[in-house]
Structures are given as structure tokens and as C-alpha cells.
Structure 1
């Protein structure tokens, strides 16, 4: 268990309470940006599909709440939390997060890609809450209409553009992570999440299901395995969790689970820990998603 950073934890709680006051459901996050509370079902023989019905905390984004007393209880159970996540797709804002990554190698430009999508599909991003990430990326907050479930996705719109929708979460501004602090873009903190443009919403809506067979990992699967194999000490669990989430979000998590486990073992992660991490990713990833880094 991590040693609590009391100042960071106190600030995270304060920011989380402020967000909850504005109708944003929150959960505590660790410095790795993962949910701070471990699953109460982690020692069970079979992966659990519980979304919090057991009444215990530790169900990731399903714990998210706007109730101040409940927020304090969650943070009291995770004194090592240094940040907070904001659940997307939940009333009243039905938040949709446009996550623009920065690629230091220059292989893609997510900002330009979003501008090209806007030109091609005739929409503009209205003034709205925008958060700067430690890597130089941006989270653009938009609100969706009630009753419309926007799936999470990674790179489906364009390389470097991830979508945080129903079942996902955004790292809240003021959160401290191992790579730095998330901060509001000046002048956007007083804005409400702007309505998602209709043309953009159409791009984000779930596609009609298609039958796909994955007897072997496809190119994306091989890329996720390489991502896990490249993990160094201190990154192994986080990388495995991220890769497993992407696999389940894209619909081939079960097919890739053994290969991901073997890759994690090669990096030095114990098999039981690797399988528990993959099971957690399966549990916390919305089952209807096509695909909080």
C-alpha cells in the first residue's frame, strides 16, 4: 500500500467535493490514474460482474457519486488517493470527454486531426471546459443528450483521439499523478460543459454490431502485447490494465487475455496478479463499448 501524501490527498478531496457540488460524479484515483480502491471481489475464484450491488466500495467508476458524505467516505477508505475521476455519461451533464493525446515522436497530430474532422463534417467545438494533461494533451468536456450512450473508444476517430463516454472517466483538474498535475485551461473553469455538436455526436454513436472472429490476435492485439512487453518495473500493472481495457473495449478481450497474461509474466508480473488485473479491466469496462490513461 502506498504511503499517503496527505497534502495531495487533501487537495484531491477538496477538488472532488467541488466537482460533486457541480453535479459531476467522482471517485478517488491513485497517482497512476487508476481507481484507488481495489475490488472487494479480487480474491474470488471467478471474475465478478458486480457493479456495486454488493454495497462495498471498489467497483471503479461504478462507485462514482455526487453525495458529499459518500465522497468523503470513499476518500477516507483511500488515503493514498492523489486525484479523482469524473464519471462520464451520467446525469445531469452526461459528460463526453474528447481526449487529445500528444505524440512526442510526431507520428500523429490529434489537434489537427480533430480540426480536419470538424471541417469535413461541418461542426465546431464550442467554448467549454478544457483540461491540460501533464503530457501536454487536452481533455475537452462536452455534454450529451439524455438517453444516448456514447461508447468509449481509443483512436477510432483518428490516431491520438480517445473518447471517454458511458462507463469511462476523466481525470479531474487538480489531480496529482506520477507524471504531473491536471490543470484547467485558463478561462474555461467557469464554463459549463457545452452541448456536443450534433454532427460530432453522430460520429461518436455506437455502430451497428458486426460479427468478428478473433482466433488469433489481430494487428491491434499484437500492438497491445508489445505495449505490455515494453513495461519496466513500476509500469507493469498499469500498462497491462490499460491494454486489457482497450482489448475489451474493442471486443476481443477474452481472446487476448491469455496472450496478455503471458506478456505480463515475461515482464516479471506474477501470473495471479496479471489475471486479476485483466479481470478487473473486464469488469470495469462497459460491456456495450467498442472501446480514465
Structure 2
């Protein structure tokens, strides 16, 4: 692939540094909207590409090398410069969602077909657009039906004419990524996902801020909308050291019954509930088998369960004022 010209490289780095200065963790992206740095584990012996990807996901940068996708995201200016210096082919930058201090949530309103690659999708026009697509109509219908207001917030126009609506979430809620679960054409970017930052150049065009939104800060996500996109955590009762077996069976069945487009979200939610109730380790293999039965590749299923373990450990550490253990 041809390297971008110096002007493009300089401009995108400037955009990324400006975002990092505002507390938004960033990573370099290629013109395909994928992380620009290759995995440092790519040359390690492995039975296949899927296993290599799973190993990269489990590492999450603990090896100290860049190339772990969204897990490389940082707000440190020196680290941002180092990432872009290691990725001379970068033409854009990604903003990690779900991370402190903003805990960004991306509402993706799709104007084309749903993005099945797992990368940020292109979304539909903003509230003021006269030719709003079905996805925004669906969001407005949800707002009317559930009695919440779509707030005025930072809005990014995608090359296809879509929109990314930026919202912020509270520290005690983990929003998972999902595709068309809320409504057809509406994707959610939460923890572990990223949004393409404004100023990024891609193969399809440039992402830019919608007029009038550059002066805005990301608005808090309405509580009602938050409940729709983040399954509520079940209360944890420390005295209940022996959860009912049927509880674990219900989580497994919940994952096993997942359809395409909801498998990863269901697995992540079920794994979080399992770890919160102290049966995560016991149930991990059964949840993996259920996800594989539903059509999810085993490495991806195990990586999702590992992410759930890490997040629940971090939340437990914050509640008790202790550092969360690191999981390789």
C-alpha cells in the first residue's frame, strides 16, 4: 500500500493529538478504518490466523509492544507520536469508546448495509437532515416510545453521508458493542470498540464534524437509552456463595439461543453476569460451547469472555478501592 503524503500524515497526527488533549484515547488507523499497526504476535507459532488474533486479544498490550488494536489507545502525547511514527501508513485515527474520563458511547446510524466486519460502520444523517434514513427514524421512534430526548451533541459525518453521535456514559455502566440490536441500522460502539475520528481520511473519503457541533462537548447518554443499550447488572450478594445451578444454565441457554448480530453481545453480557455472581470460571467453558453452537468462532468467544472477566474485575476493584488484577 502506498504511504500517505507528508501533509496527510501531519494533519491526521495533529487531529489525533488534539483529541488526546481532550482526554480521548486514540490509535492510528489505516485507510480501511482498521488499526494501522500489525500484531506483534503475528510471527509466533500458531495453528491459524484466528488463534493468533485470539492471542493478541488476550495479551491486550501486556507484552509492552504496540499492535493490539484499541488496547493501544492512549491520551499521552508522547505515546501518540510513537504510535504514529510506528505506523507511517496511517491516514486516520480511532477513538476508543468506554474509556475514562469521557467513557464515550457511539451511536452509529447506518445509511448503507450493516457493517458486519466489526469495524466502525457508516451511519445515517443527523436529526436536522430532511432526508433522514430509516435508522434515524428508528432512533426517533425509540425516543418517542421510551420517552427520552436525543441530545444535541458532537456529531461526525461519515464519507457515505452517515453520522456518529457521541455520548458519554457513567463510570458504573459498561456498554457493549452491538450491531442492529437496538434497531435495524443502529450500531452501538461501547467498551472495546472505537469510532473513526473527524479529520481521518479513508478509502471512501474523509470524516468531518457536522456544522455547529465542533463547539459542543459529548452529551450524557439519556438514562432510558442507556438502559436499552446496556443490559442491567444483577445485584451481587456476597453472602450467596453458592448460586443456584439453574442461574448458570439460564445464562448458557441465553447465549446458545443467540442469532447472528447478537451473539457477541449476548455472550459478553452473560459472562459479565457469571463473573459478578462468582461462577465465571466454572461457567466459562459452557458459555464458550454455547457461543460456538450459536455460530461464534471459539477464539472470539474466549476473547469475549476474557474481556468480561477483566471488566468485572476492574469494576470490583473500583468499588472496593483496590486495583483490579491484570489478566493476560
TM-score, normalised via structure 2 length? 0.67
Q: Any idea what SS the aligned residue of 2:95 has?
A: strand
2:255·2:266 contact (CA, 8 Å) conserved in 1?
A: no
Q: Any idea what SS the aligned residue of 2:59 has?
A: coil
Long gaps (5+) in structure 1: 222-245, 259-277
What is the Cα-based RMSD across aligned positions, in Å? 3.0
* Structure-2 change in CA distance of 1:280 and 1:72 (3 Å): farther
Q: CA deviation at 1:125?
A: 1.3
Q: Any idea what SS the aligned residue of 1:220 has?
A: coil
Instruction: Verify: 1:52 aligned to 2:61, yes or no.
Output: yes
Q: Residue 210 of structure 1 aligns with which residue?
A: 251
Instruction: Verify: 1:134 aligned to 2:159, yes or no.
Output: yes
2:104·2:190 contact (CA, 8 Å) conserved in 1?
A: yes
* Structure-2 change in CA distance of 1:104 and 1:38 (3 Å): closer
1:103·1:109 contact (CA, 8 Å) conserved in 2?
A: no
**Higher relative contact order, chain-length normalized (CA < 8 Å, sep 6+):** 1
2:292·2:301 contact (CA, 8 Å) conserved in 1?
A: no
Q: CA deviation at 1:12?
A: 1.1
**Quick check: which has more Rg, 1 or 2?**
2
The aligned length equals 244
Q: Residue 16 of structure 2 aligns with which residue?
A: 16
Q: CA deviation at 1:104?
A: 7.3
Q: Residue 264 of structure 1 aligns with which residue?
A: none
Q: Residue 87 of structure 1 aligns with which residue?
A: 96
Q: CA deviation at 1:247?
A: 5.7
Long gaps (5+) in structure 2: 115-130, 234-249, 268-289, 310-328
Instruction: Verify: 1:39 aligned to 2:79, yes or no.
Output: no
Q: Residue 197 of structure 1 aligns with which residue?
A: 222
Q: CA deviation at 1:206?
A: 2.5
TM-score, normalised via structure 1 length? 0.74
Map of 1:1-293 to 2, 5 A cutoff? Answer: 2-44=2-44, 45=46, 46-47=51-52, 48=55, 49-103=58-112, 109-206=134-231, 210-212=251-253, 220=260, 248-249=264-265, 251=267, 254=292, 256=295, 287-288=307-308
Output one character per residue of 1:88-118: Cα deviation in whole Å (capped at 9) or x when no partner. 0111111000000003799x71010000000
1:166·1:286 contact (CA, 8 Å) conserved in 2?
A: no
Output one character per residue of 1:4-61: Cα deviation in whole Å (capped at 9) or x when no partner. 3332222111100000011100000000000111111123324411011110000111
* Structure-2 change in CA distance of 1:6 and 1:62 (3 Å): same
Q: CA deviation at 1:248?
A: 4.1
* Structure-2 change in CA distance of 1:68 and 1:286 (3 Å): farther
Residues of 2 paired with 1:16 and 1:30: CA distance?
Answer: 13
Q: CA deviation at 1:288?
A: 3.6
Output one character per residue of 1:225-253: Cα deviation in whole Å (capped at 9) or x when no partner. xxxxxxxxxxxxxxxxxxxxx86455476
